[in-house]
Amino acid sequence: MDAVAAIPVEKLSWSRISIYRDCPRRFRYRYVERVPEERVSAALPFGGAFHQAAERIAEARMAGWSIPSVEVLAGEYERAWRESVKRAPALQYAKGEDEATLRATAHRMLEAYLEFALTESGQVLAIEQEARFAVGGVPMVARLDLVELRGDELVVTDLKTAKSIWNANKIREAMPQLVAYAYAVVPFVEALGVKRIKPRFIVITKAKQPKVQVLEPVATADDAKRLKELVQETAKGVCAEVFPRHEGWQCAQCAFREECLGKDL
């Protein structure tokens, strides 16, 4: 059987490709061996809870309801955070962080995002939409945060939380994800007859005064080629069971640190 064709559809997504690129051994622990996580960075449940709170705004727009207040959004964040923490192993907070400081940070970020969202227009078509597609013959899956119709444009948004605004290097690093999202919405394009796909990132910073950064970089043929190469290289590596360990600064935060390096390191 062709190694690429053997990849199960649920195995490859942009996040999984990113993990494989960072450390193939971590990919193996998480997705192949299903090793239980020893710890998890508090940034993960924080980001998930923030996303769920932000979704309430899109849901209100989609249904034609009044936009929720920041207090309602903060309550949704708190609920989602607690549900996530119940299922998580030991939380690992960054220096100077705890549950209370993260709650305050989320409130400030939701205020900033709500102010931005009130200026947005367009018809919301989908929220957290799962899409299945292929890149270079490799089946992939993506979860699209927000899909909107604006005139003859289809706008695909991925919402990010970050410590600071993205610079040019960070944008370039993330470009393949936007290209993948463009592939993911091709069925929408065909069904709606739109003329252009506009994938974008919205980045909300975790600062004392959060900023909302809207990034709409235009992908090139080279970006599409790069995505195809990344997807195919990852697929072949996984199928060939190539899972070397990449040691570095990221090991200190890894959920499989003891499994990989031992308890005494």
Inside any domain, residue 84: yes
- pLDDT tens digit sequence for 49-94: 999 999 999 999 999 999 999 999 999 999 999 999 998 888 999 9
Domain around 22 = 14-261
Inside any domain, residue 233: yes
> Which residue reads 């993990």 in tokens?
19
Inside any domain, residue 174: yes
Tell me what the pLDDT averaged over the chain comes to. Answer: 93
pLDDT at 3: 47
Q: Look at residue 182 and tell me whether its pLDDT is greater than 70.
A: yes
Sign, CA torsion 179/181/187/192: negative
Inside any domain, residue 6: no
pLDDT at 265: 53
End-to-end alpha-carbon separation of the chain, Å? 41
Inside any domain, residue 71: yes
- In 10 A of CB 41, how many CB atoms? 16
- pLDDT tens digit sequence for 121-137: 999 999 999 999 999 99
- pLDDT tens digit sequence for 7-59: 554 579 999 999 999 999 999 999 999 999 999 999 999 999 999 999 999 99
Please tell me the total count of domains within the chain.
Answer: 1
Inside any domain, residue 4: no
- pLDDT tens digit sequence for 156-172: 999 999 999 999 999 99
Q: What is the pTM of this model?
A: 0.92
Inside any domain, residue 9: no
CATH of the domain at 122: 3.40.1350.10
Inside any domain, residue 3: no
